[in-house]
Amino acid sequence: MTSPEVPLIVLRSITKSYGQGQTAFQALSGVDLEIHPGEFVAVMGPSGSGKSTAMNLLGCLDTPTSGEYLFRGIHVERLDRNQRALLRRNCLGFVFQGFNLLARTSALENVELPLLYRGEELAARHAAAKAALARVGLDGWETHTPAELSGGQQQRVAIARAIVTNPLVLLADEPTGNLDSKRSHEIMELLTKLNGEQGITVIMVTHEPDMAAYARRIVHFVDGQVAQDETQAATICS
C-alpha cells in the first residue's frame, strides 16, 4: 500500500509544445507538481493557461514534450501507447463536463462499459455496476436511459462509470459545467464523499471558485506554469 507521505503523482519540469518553428505554441513551460494519495485538488486558471493540457497529460491522453511524469514511481513518459492505455484502464477514472453517456443504453449498461473493455464476465459486470450506481445514490435507477434522467442524475451515472473500476485517481474536467447551482453542489458533495470516505484521489479542473471551495488544495495555472499552489481548510460541509 502506498504511504501517504510518498507522492502518487510527480511532474518534474514538464513542458508541452504544439507545432514547430515560429508557429510553435508552448502550452506548458516547466511544470513541477506533486499530488499525494487521498488529496482533493482543484486546478484553476484562465483559458489558455495550460490546465487542460496538464489534465490530459495526467490522464495519459497525451505525452509531454520534455520532463518526467511519475505515477506510483513509474515513468509514464517512457511508456508506449498500449502501456499508457493499461494505466488509464486500471488506475484512472474520468468525468467530463459533457456526460458522454450512450443515449439508448440503460444506466447500468453505461456504467458497465469500462468492465466490458476489461473483458469481465456479464454477472461480475452487472454486480459491480449496480454497486457503483448505489455508491452515487442511484440505487433503483439501473434500467433508466439518459433521456429519463435529470442532468444531475446523468452526471452521477458518469461518475459511477468512472469509479466502477475502483480507480486510484478520479480526473474531473468541469464536472458541474452543464448543471444548475443546486445540482452542481450535489455533485461536489458526492465527489467530496468519494474522496473522504473511500480515499479516491480527486483532481478537478474548474472555473468556478465555489466549486473549488470543496477541494483542500487549489493549484492555479498561468501561462503554462503553476503560479500558485495553496492548501485551504474545508469550507463546505456535506
Phi, psi at 170, each rounded to 5°: -110, 120
Report the C-alpha gap between 68 and 108 in whole angstroms.
Answer: 38
Q: Which CATH superfamily is domain 9-231 in?
A: P-loop containing nucleotide triphosphate hydrolases (3.40.50.300)
Regions of the chain with pLDDT less than 50? 1-3, 236-238
| Sole residue written with cell 479542473 | 205
Q: State residue 140's pLDDT score.
A: 95
Q: State residue 38's pLDDT score.
A: 96
Report the C-alpha gap between 7 and 168 in whole angstroms.
Answer: 12
Which residues are within 8 A (CB) of 44 and not within 5 positions of it... i.e. 6 or more apart?
51, 205, 206, 207, 209, 212, 218, 219, 220, 221
CA angle 90/78/91 to nearest 5° reads 10
Q: State residue 234's pLDDT score.
A: 57
Among residues 27, 100, 95, 91, the alpha carbon closest in space to that of 62 is found at 27
Q: State residue 20's pLDDT score.
A: 84
Kindly list the domain boundaries of the chain, sorted by start residue: 9-231
Q: State residue 195's pLDDT score.
A: 96
